[in-house]
Structure 1
């Protein structure tokens, strides 16, 4: 399904002390999404961006029944799991691993880290929430142990309801994440300058 095709920027993985995984949105490309790191406080990071097959991680809305997004959905999670294990094998601990995504990539970011909760360096979801027509808490395990997680979203947003963002944030908090949510009235489906500033202050400080 999805191949493990990773684009890189910043420091070489074996020379870096910190790593940022960037997850692009629907129709986006990993190669282009790498440029987001230039707007974040990540000058000494290794930047890794996986590429979705056909530029889409899963075919339907993140609010569709999970079965409708298979097998692409499970394949996407598997790519991220393998990437996380590859990073750890170089000796980088989870508290020095960061994950950020936009839109479909933000949903995948939150779903992945919540299924594998541990002390990450930090997590940023630019417009996203946990995946499924209903949130299935049985999928989530572990302890974020204070991981800072920033979620920014618009109200209304054409793809991500505020209610799902808030419900997702509550689950993250229950798993001991330090969650900051910022809701922007009538903001277009994009990443705003204020979100970048808050992500830098809260996660990449």
Structure 2
């Protein structure tokens, strides 16, 4: 299962008032995703990037039945929950905790916040959607209390169907999140400069 192996960056958490949890994609690593912070308005943040065992959070597509991705999916979700609890013990409230993920990491990010909806600092999902062969709204409870969420994705994307992105936006919006979704025609499976700018404007400009 996953172990708590965290790459850090930005300000030391003891000196920061805000924390960004960064979740890498399949086949990547914590160092890859944390390097993205160079392009984000997060210079005053502590950066925490957990490392997945064998560089993947769960074995199969995020669109597979959830049971096929267990017990790895639950292990990944529990790891993020433990990380959030650790941040809380440092005196940082949920409202000052931010999340960002790409691809498999974006799916995991969205699944975690939907299962644990609260007023967070903000959420960025570069190419992702809620996990499962179908969206199970019964798994998602809580109130985002106007948390800003940005979801960007390619239309089409080889791994993340646009329909799932749309379904995800609807679920999060119904949970009182302020979701900004943007689809990019034939962008391919990557992060675009426009997505970076959208994330900075929508999520990381919050005061």
TM-score, reference length from structure 2:
0.98
| 3-state secondary structure, aligned to 1:84 | helix
Partner of 2:101: 101
Alignment of 1:46-195 (within 5 A): 46-195=46-195
For residue 188 of structure 1, report the CA deviation from its aligned partner: 1.1
Distance 1:168 1:198 in 2: 18
The worse-fitting range, judged by mean Cα deviation, of 45-54 and 132-141 is: 132-141
1:102-146: per-residue Cα shift (whole Å, max 9, x none)? 000000000000100000000000000000001111111110000
Distance 1:32 1:168 in 2: 26
Give the CA RMSD over aligned residues: 0.5
For residue 38 of structure 1, report the CA deviation from its aligned partner: 0.8
User: Where does the alignment leave 5 or more consecutive residues of structure 1 unmatched?
Assistant: none
TM-score, reference length from structure 1:
0.99
1:140-172: per-residue Cα shift (whole Å, max 9, x none)? 111000000000000110000000000000000
User: Where does the alignment leave 5 or more consecutive residues of structure 2 unmatched?
Assistant: none
